């Protein structure tokens, strides 16, 4: 099993997410994975072209610009990837694949 899944299952980081999803039908879990993957791609697009998310991005304070591109959105991606691993862990524990 993967580390984020084991940690969540043990009551650590993302335990509430694990608990809220553990009894869902596998199809819902697969949909959740796809939805999170779309969010990851959106965030990657925003990092490449921040004005797609924040139309006035160039008018923001440079520190705020940097924070969004270097911290906030990458941290969102990291969290979303952990959530994907948790959902994949639920499927794996059931003996099922993602697809």
Q: What is the DSSP string of 3-40?
A: HHHHHHHTTSTTHHHHHHHTTS-HHHHHHHHHHHHHHH
Q: Provide CB contacts within 8 A for 45, sequence distance 6+.
A: 52
- Pair 86, 8: CB distance under 8 Å: yes
**15-69 residue pLDDT tens:** 999 999 999 999 999 999 999 999 999 999 999 999 999 999 999 999 999 999 9
pLDDT band at 81 (very low <50, low <70, confident <90, very high): very high
DSSP assigned state of 67: H
- Pair 26, 96: CB distance under 8 Å: yes
Does residue 4 carry a pLDDT above 90? Answer: yes
Residue ranges per domain, the chain? Answer: 3-93
The reported pTM is 0.93
pLDDT band at 97 (very low <50, low <70, confident <90, very high): confident
* Lookup: tokens for 39: 């969010």
């Amino acid at each position: 099993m993967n580390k984020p899944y084991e940690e969540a299952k043990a009551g650590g980081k993302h335990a509430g997410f694990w608990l809220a999803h553990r009894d869902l039908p596998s199809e819902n879990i697969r949909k959740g994975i796809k939805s999170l993957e779309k969010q990851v791609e959106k965030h990657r697009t925003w990092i490449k072209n921040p004005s797609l998310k924040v139309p006035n991005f160039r008018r923001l304070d440079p520190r705020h610009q940097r924070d969004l591109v270097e911290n906030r959105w990458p941290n969102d991606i990291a969290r979303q990837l952990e959530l994907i691993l948790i959902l994949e862990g639920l499927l794996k524990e059931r003996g099922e694949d993602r697809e």
